[in-house]
Structure 1
């Protein structure tokens, strides 16, 4: 072990004590701040998603309809197996517009 003066040993012990004290105080302050944040979120109705800047997850959301049967009004997203009313036909005839009606191509 290398030589170490008494003064350096005392200073290191003080530093360790101060580091421990700072850690304990920071932990208490962090806990207090988190409680304040939670209370403010509840007071103003702020969700975690809003706090994180993200939109809420939409579970089981249906994809938008890309195709619409003009006869029955049935829709298809273009994913998966094609329904009977569009299978084997030109899909452009069944394109759905944003208003939800089929565009008839002549």
Structure 2
């Protein structure tokens, strides 16, 4: 039966082998991604989402509510921030 020290050494060796295998696999996948980018003429900026066609772009939401104390704003989209949750939203409307 192996000792604790031997088992810990085996675990460390396996972890090193796993890291090497993960790195090799990542290099293979990266090469495949680069090849597909070349094949389909996809630029790095397109891949990163910086060169999205105008139709696909989401417009920035205009603030609809403002906290007078902190100046924080909220568009009314998504989850309500703590400063307006469970309160009368009319009191926080941004004037036109």
RMSD, aligned CA: 1.5
Give the CA deviation at 1:16: 0.6
1:11 correspondence with 2:24: no
Aligned to 1:44: 40
Consecutive unaligned residues in structure 1, runs of 5 or more: 1-5, 57-106
- 1:15-94 mapped onto 2 (5 Å cutoff): 15-55=11-51
TM-score using structure 2 length: 0.50
Number of equivalences: 51
In the alignment, the residues of structure 2 paired with residue 25 and residue 7 of structure 1 have an alpha-carbon distance, to the nearest angstrom, of 27
In the alignment, the residues of structure 1 paired with residue 27 and residue 44 of structure 2 have an alpha-carbon distance, to the nearest angstrom, of 18
Moved over 2 A (4+): none
**Larger Rg, first or second structure (1 or 2):** 1
TM-score using structure 1 length: 0.46
